Structure 1
Amino acid sequence: MMAAATATAALDVSVETPLHRLVRKFVANRIALSGLVVFAAITLLAVAAPLVAPQNPYDLATLDIIDGSLEPGMTNIDGKPYLLGTDEQGRDMLSAILYGLRISIGIGVGSTVIALVIGLALGLFAAYSGGWRDTLVMRLVDLQLGFPPILIALILLAILGRGVDKVMIALVALQWAYYARTVRATALVERRKEYIEAARCLALPYSRIVFGHLMPNCLPPLIVVATMQVAHAIALEATLSFLGVGVPVTEPSLGMLIANGFDFMMSGRYWVSFFPGITLLVTVVSINLVGDHLRDILNPRLQK
């Protein structure tokens, strides 16, 4: 029986795929798993905001100035409770945070996906083509990375104006260079390996070599970079909105909610900025916990 159990265990190990190994190592880390669970819960609440939020905070018909500036836990004259209080317009802060999460997470994930696609394509093109094409792409990358991200974003938004789509364009312009540089560095190593040389000898089409053979081996580093960039994009969008150049007041994100309550901090109405700030902090930290552990798993040098 012991021999059979040993054989079964050996068989299980032998058929374990890289994806299964990745999932097993990730689940084994409770901190990273907790970060993933927290971010998944936050995202689910943001998506279901119209269903779970006590109020539509941006429907003027539901707002009453009499309910303005209520402290957390207080109720209005009708007995309706406000767990996180209200702002000066009578907007329920819990509902405002849930709706603000939709915009912040949507901008962060959306801009990251678009930038990843652009950077992946340009990085593969530069590494596989080489020559002046590689030089041109990398000089563009160096030029973009040579300036502070916040400065580029401010310049772009000053030209484009405020809006969710404008912020996404600015964030894509900031992020694509990170992916292009990461992909190029990985692809330069992979293109010298035997399987790429064999594909060339077989005269396989350019697209099949690049997207069928080269690209899958360049994805693991991108997973880590993309995870980190989601958190960075959410934080940067909040910064831009706090400075008044991000999303408009009619579509406020977490950064706009923090900015709206900043002027009332000294008067004791801390909750208008405090709770959106805590939500932003928890969201960014949970994503970073996932990204840090993914980096440890996918980089053998960081494994003990």
Structure 2
Amino acid sequence: MSNPHELSTSVHAGTETIAAKPAMSPLKRTFIALLHNRLALTGLIITGILLLAAILAPVLAPQDPYDLAQLDIMDGRLAPGGESMSGLTYWLGTDTQGRDLVSAIMYGLRTSILVGLVSAAVALVIGTSIGLFSAYAGGRTDAVLMRIVDIQLSFPSILIALIFLAILGQGVDKIIIALVVTQWAYYARTVRGSALVESKRAYIEAARSMALPDRSIIFRHMLPNCLPPLIVVATMRVAYAIMLEATLSFLGIGLPVTEPSLGLLISNGFEYILSGDYWISFFPGITLLLLIVGINLIGDALRDILNPRREG
């Protein structure tokens, strides 16, 4: 029979071992939860592959699809698996200009992802700052800012983007500005709702009683506790920004021909679908669909994982 003193010492030592184990960070815990979610893991794999293809396009792409010296108009509209006169095989076919669709899609991914990420990041910074300030200030300031947000959200995003692009013209920087204008209000509304809850908590009152600067209270104490819903919204808005940019480019008012995205690649082959050259639009369209689905799968999983009412 074990000595009670030895058993007590063993239990005490075990308790110290458990207590000494460092707590898992929220970021690591969220990532592990994503890996254990089948749909999220599928989204991570799809998005990761497409992101790598975009980043490594200059290295992996068979040709630079926008270097005129590498193009041959005689290779235009070759079917998938077709060979050029020089013996080069085009696995996804070519477009009307003789561009290899594999290369064009990889370069188009670069533009689409860049526009989506940059516009979402800028809109996040602007919208988050406005939402936090609105909730913290309260009163008339909050009412005025939220009425502006309501007016912004009452108009379709594509209509606002169309108006701005009609004024600014085409270009990557122009469409990023247009997408920022259409998105900042979503972040402001989301953050303001979370910040209103946090502003009534005891730690905010304690920070105010210590006469901490307002900027410190807002960004060092309030903002970290508003991040979970903000992360979910940001993930969804990246997918929406990519889709909206593709729509605008498809309509011919987004990006110029010299900086094509997936939307413009789809538009280039749309008129040839009825003639049987489906692949010019089909493969860029499938790539865009996979990118949007992959990001949305991650966003849906994050919404469940970061839900404070989620059991367990």
* 108-117 vs 159-168, greater mean Cα deviation: 159-168
**How many residue pairs were aligned?**
304
1:277 counterpart residue number: 285
- Opposite residue 211 of structure 1, the aligned amino acid is F
What is the CA–CA distance in structure 2 between the aligned matches of 1:235 and 1:84, rounded to whole Å?
23
Return the match for 2:23 from 7, 10, 15: 15
Give me the TM-score of the superposition, normalised by structure 2: 0.93
Query: Is residue 2:274 matched to residue 1:235?
Result: no
Structure possessing the higher radius of gyration over alpha carbons: 2
1:211 counterpart residue number: 219
Give the SS at the match of 2:91.
coil
Shift of 1:216: 0.8
2:129 counterpart residue number: 121
Deviations 1:30-88 (A, max 9, x none): 22022112212211110111111101111111111111111101111111110100011
Query: Is residue 2:296 matched to residue 1:292?
Result: no
Query: Is residue 2:32 matched to residue 1:24?
Result: yes
Do 1:228 and 1:291's aligned partners in 2 also have CA atoms closer than 8 Å? yes
Query: Is residue 2:253 matched to residue 1:259?
Result: no
13 and 29 in structure 1: CA distance in 2 versus 1, 3 angstrom threshold: farther
Give the SS at the match of 2:96.
coil
Gaps of 5+ in 2: 1-6
* 1-10 vs 81-90, greater mean Cα deviation: 1-10
Give me the TM-score of the superposition, normalised by structure 1: 0.95
What is the CA–CA distance in structure 2 between the aligned matches of 1:25 and 1:47, rounded to whole Å?
27
Gaps of 5+ in 1: none
- Opposite residue 260 of structure 1, the aligned amino acid is N
Shift of 1:23: 2.3
What is the CA–CA distance in structure 2 between the aligned matches of 1:258 and 1:303, rounded to whole Å?
43
Give the SS at the match of 2:200.
coil
Return the match for 1:68 from 64, 72, 76: 76
Query: Is residue 2:67 matched to residue 1:59?
Result: yes
What is the CA–CA distance in structure 1 between the aligned matches of 2:248 and 2:110, rounded to whole Å?
17
What is the CA–CA distance in structure 2 between the aligned matches of 1:127 and 1:115, rounded to whole Å?
18
What is the CA–CA distance in structure 2 between the aligned matches of 1:6 and 1:227, rounded to whole Å?
41
Do 1:57 and 1:95's aligned partners in 2 also have CA atoms closer than 8 Å? yes
Return the match for 1:104 from 108, 112, 121: 112
Give the SS at the match of 2:83.
coil
Query: Is residue 2:88 matched to residue 1:80?
Result: yes
Give the SS at the match of 2:82.
coil
Aligned Cα root-mean-square deviation (Å): 2.0
Percent sequence identity is: 61
Shift of 1:21: 2.5
What is the CA–CA distance in structure 2 between the aligned matches of 1:12 and 1:111, rounded to whole Å?
43
200 and 281 in structure 1: CA distance in 2 versus 1, 3 angstrom threshold: same
- Opposite residue 267 of structure 2, the aligned amino acid is A
Shift of 1:16: 3.0
84 and 14 in structure 1: CA distance in 2 versus 1, 3 angstrom threshold: same
What is the CA–CA distance in structure 2 between the aligned matches of 1:20 and 1:137, rounded to whole Å?
35
Deviations 1:204-229 (A, max 9, x none): 11111111101111111110000000
What is the CA–CA distance in structure 1 between the aligned matches of 2:300 and 2:18, rounded to whole Å?
30
What is the CA–CA distance in structure 2 between the aligned matches of 1:250 and 1:68, rounded to whole Å?
18
Give the SS at the match of 1:300.
coil
